[in-house]
Amino acid sequence: MSEEYSFSTRDKTTVELKSRGGDRLIDVVLPLPIYKALTYILSGHSICPLRGTRVLVPVGRRNMIGVAWGTPAEKPPSVNLKSVKRILDERPLLPESLISFLEWTSSYYFHPIGQVIAEALPPGLLSASNRRIAKINGGLSNSRDCRPEFLQWSTEIPLQLTEEQEIVFNAVCDALATKSYHPILVRGVTGSGKTEVYLQAAKQCVRQNRSVLILVPEIAMTTQTAGWFVSRFGDEVTVLHSGLTEAQRRNQWFRIKREKSRIVVGTRSAIFAPLYDLGLIIVDEEHDPSYKQSEKFRYQARDMALLRGRMSNATVILGSATPSVSSFNNAISGRYQLITMEKRVAKRSLPRVEIVDRRKKEKKEQQHKSEPTRPAWLSNELKEATKATLEKGEQVLLFLNRRGFATYVFCPDCGHVFRCPHCEVTLTWHRGDKRTNSEKDGVLRCHYCGMESTALPVCPECMGQSVKAFGYGTEKIAADLEEIFPNARIARLDRDTVKVRRHMEKIVLDFRKGDLDILVGTQMITKGHDFPCLTLVGILCADLSLNFPEYHAAERTFQLLAQVAGRAGRGKQPGRVIIQTWSPDHFVLDCATNHDFNAFYQKESKLRKTLGYPPFGRLINLRFSGRGKAQVCDTAGNIAKLAKKLATGIKADGGSQVEILGPAPSPRAKIRDRYRWQILLKSSSLSNLRALCSIILSRKADIVPCSVRMEVDVDPHNLL
C-alpha cells in the first residue's frame, strides 16, 4: 500500500513514498566513492525526510550520515534492506535549487554525488559520532554568532564613477533588470576601478531583494575584498573559506541558509553557498588557476559560477585585467558580453616596464670580478632602483614564485641530491628564524607531503660533511635584503608566513598603511591587492612558469607578469616595473612590457588552435596512483588499450575523433609514496570525450584493482 507525504518549504519539495510489504523505502546518498544512492527502509518513523535532509544509516558494520534523496525509481531487488536509524533534520539541509546544481556538477565531473555533497557542506555535518551529532545539532538550534571579524577597508565612496565604470555599471543594471542569465566579461586594466563597479552592482542587486555571491581566488584576497564590502554593507556580508574555524564556517553557512545574509564573499568553495534567489555572481580575477580544485573533486569554480548563474537566472560578471584565453574566446565569439576598461581611475598611467637581460649580466659579471659582491638573484638595475625608491619614502614589492631559502641541497663530494623519500622531488631548505646565525638551523622540507629532516646534514651516501645548498626562494630574498638595506622594514608573504589568517591580514594591512618598506612574496601578492604607496615592482625570475611542461605555460606567465606589474603606480606617484629574465625575446615578455593583452591573445590562440588545445579542443585526464609501481603502470596500460579500442567506435563530430595520449608517468611521478600515471583524452567534441569516459568508468571495476586509484579530471588545468 503506497503513501504520500508532502511538506511545504521554501523549496516547495514534495516527496512521494513507496512501500514494499508495508515498509516505506527511501534512497540515501552517502559520502562514499559510489555513484548511486543506497536504498533503506523507513520503519518506525512517522514522517519521511524530505530530499536534502540528513539521516543516520548503517553501512556495513558502522553508522554513517547521508542525505535523503527521494524514493527509488525502480523496485529494489529482493534483498534484506537496512533501516534508517535517525532523521537528523526537521527541514531539508540543502535547498532544492542547490541540489539540482550539485547533481549537475557530479555528472559533469564524473564525481560521486555523495562526495560532492560532502564538499558543499560545512565540516562536521556528515560526522556520525554521537557526541559530534549532539554538539552540532545543539549548535544549529541555538547557535551563537561566531562569525569572523573583518576590518572595514575603506568607507570612502567616489562621488562619481569614471566614464568606463559607468558603462560597465549600466550594462550590469540592464542585465539585472531582465532577471535572466547574462554573462559579462569585464577586461579592465589593473587599477581601472573594477572593485567599485562590483560594489555598486551588488547594491543594485540587493535593492531587488536578490542575493549576491563574490568569488575570489585566494584566502589572502578575502581580507581586502571582504573589507570593501563590509564597509558598504556591514553585517549583511558573510565570508566563506577554508581558513575559518569549523564553528565559524558552520555559523556563516547557516546565516546564509536562514537568509540573514544576502552577500557572500568567499573562495571557490563558496560556489556551494545555500543562497536563495541568487541575482548576481562576481568572479574576480577569473583567470586565476586557484579556481580549479587540484585534488579529489576537481571542479572549476569559475565554470560552475556560470552554470549556477544560468540555473538561477542571474547576472554573472567575470572580471580580470588578463582574462583566460577560454573566457576571452567566449566573449569575442558572442557567448559573453565583452566590456573593456582601458584606463586607470584618476587618469593614472600604467607602470613603465623594463626588461633586464640576465644573459648579458652574467657574462659581464664573469669578466669584471672587481664589482662589489651582490646576490646572484639581484641585478644592478633592480638594486639601484630599490635604493632610489626607498630614499623617496616609497614602497617596493619583489615577486618570486618560489618558497624557502634554497631550492635544493646536494653533496659536492659525491653528487648526492637530497630528495624526499616519499616523493620524487628535491627537498627545499627552510632556514627558519632570521635571528639565529647558524646555517645548521631550519629544516629540509618537501612541499608536497610535508616531510622534514635536519637541515644540511651529513651526506648519507659518502658521509661527507660539505653539504651545500643552491638556488633561492623568498626566504633567502628577504634575508639578503636585510643585509643590503638594513634600515628597511621588510616582510614576506607566502604560504610559510600566512599559516594563521590574522598574520596574513596584518602583513597586507601594514603594507597598505605604509608600515612596511619592502614586501617579498609569491603569487599571493599578485592578486587584486591595492597598495597606494607602491611604486616599484621587481620580478626576479620571469622564466620560472614559462618553462613548465604545460600547454598554458605562456598564458600563466603573461598573467603573472601583468598582474604583479599592475600593483605598481596605483596611487599618486607613477609606477615602475623591472623584469629580470633569461628569455627577453619571448613574445610573452614583449606583450607584458607593452601591457598588450590583445597581441598576446592573438599569438597564443593561434598556437592553441593549431595544436587543438582549449578552448579549441577539450581535454579529460585520467589519473592513476598506487603504492605498487608496476601495478599502476599495468592498470594505466590496460585502460589505454580499452580507450583506444573504444575510440574507434565513437563517431566523431565533424570528422574529429578522440585522441588518446599516453599512458605515461606524470611529470611528478611519485607523491606521498604513490606512483602516478596518466592518460590524456583529447578531442574537439566534448560529447565524444564524455561518451568515451562514461564507458571506461562503467568497466572500471573489472580493470582497475582496489589498490589502484583512478580519478577523472575534466578540463584539467594542471598536468603535472
Query: Residue 423's pLDDT is what?
Result: 93
How many other CB atoms are there within 10 angstroms of residue 55's CB atom?
A: 23
* Single-letter code of the amino acid located at 326: S
558 pLDDT higher than 50: yes
Q: What is the mean pLDDT of the chain?
A: 86
Set of cell numbers at residue 671: 607523491
Which band of pLDDT confidence, cut at 50, 70 and 90, is reported for residue 157? confident
Strand order in the sheet with 452-454: 428-430, 443-445, 452-454
Mean pLDDT on 214-229: 85
Query: Residue 639's pLDDT is what?
Result: 96
Highest mean pLDDT among 237-251, 370-384, 414-428: 414-428
529 pLDDT higher than 60: yes
Query: Residue 29's pLDDT is what?
Result: 95
Query: Residue 44's pLDDT is what?
Result: 72
SS (H, E, C) 92-132: CCCCHHHHHHHHHHHHHCCCCHHHHHHHHCCCCCCCCCHHH
Which band of pLDDT confidence, cut at 50, 70 and 90, is reported for residue 14? very low
The Cα–Cα gap between 516 and 522 comes to: 17
Query: Residue 711's pLDDT is what?
Result: 94
Domain 352-403+474-608 has CATH 3.20.20.105: no
The alpha carbon of residue 666 and the mean position of all alpha carbons in its chain are separated, in whole angstroms, by 21
Query: Residue 439's pLDDT is what?
Result: 45
Least reliable range by pLDDT among 181-190, 242-251, 255-264:
242-251
Highest mean pLDDT among 358-367, 503-512, 646-655: 503-512
Highest mean pLDDT among 55-64, 200-209, 557-566: 200-209
SS3 of 19, please? strand
| pLDDT per position as a tens digit, 226-256 | 888 988 898 889 999 888 888 888 888 988 9
Bigger pLDDT: 504 or 29? 29
Mean pLDDT on 12-36: 69
Highest mean pLDDT among 1-15, 70-84, 245-259, 363-377: 245-259
Percent of the chain residues topping a pLDDT of 90: 54
88 pLDDT higher than 70: yes
Percent of the chain residues topping a pLDDT of 70: 87
Fold adopted by 163-346: Rossmann fold (3.40.50)
4 pLDDT higher than 60: no
| pLDDT per position as a tens digit, 341-372 | 999 888 888 999 999 988 866 555 555 554 55
Q: Comparing 163-346 with 352-403+474-608, is the CATH topology the same?
A: yes
Burial of 258 (0-12, 13-18, 19+ CB in 10 A): exposed
| pLDDT per position as a tens digit, 465-475 | 888 888 889 99
Least reliable range by pLDDT among 26-30, 243-247, 711-715:
243-247
Query: Residue 657's pLDDT is what?
Result: 85
Domain 618-714 has CATH 3.40.50.300: no
Query: Residue 173's pLDDT is what?
Result: 97
The Cα–Cα gap between 16 and 269 comes to: 32
The alpha carbon of residue 383 and the mean position of all alpha carbons in its chain are separated, in whole angstroms, by 34
| pLDDT per position as a tens digit, 289-324 | 999 998 889 999 999 999 999 999 999 999 999 999
Which band of pLDDT confidence, cut at 50, 70 and 90, is reported for residue 333? very high
Fold adopted by 3-141: GIY-YIG endonuclease (3.40.1440)
- Whether the upstream peptide bond of residue 667 has omega within 30° of 0, thus cis, is no
Query: Residue 74's pLDDT is what?
Result: 73
Domain ranges of the chain: 3-141, 163-346, 352-403+474-608, 406-471, 618-714
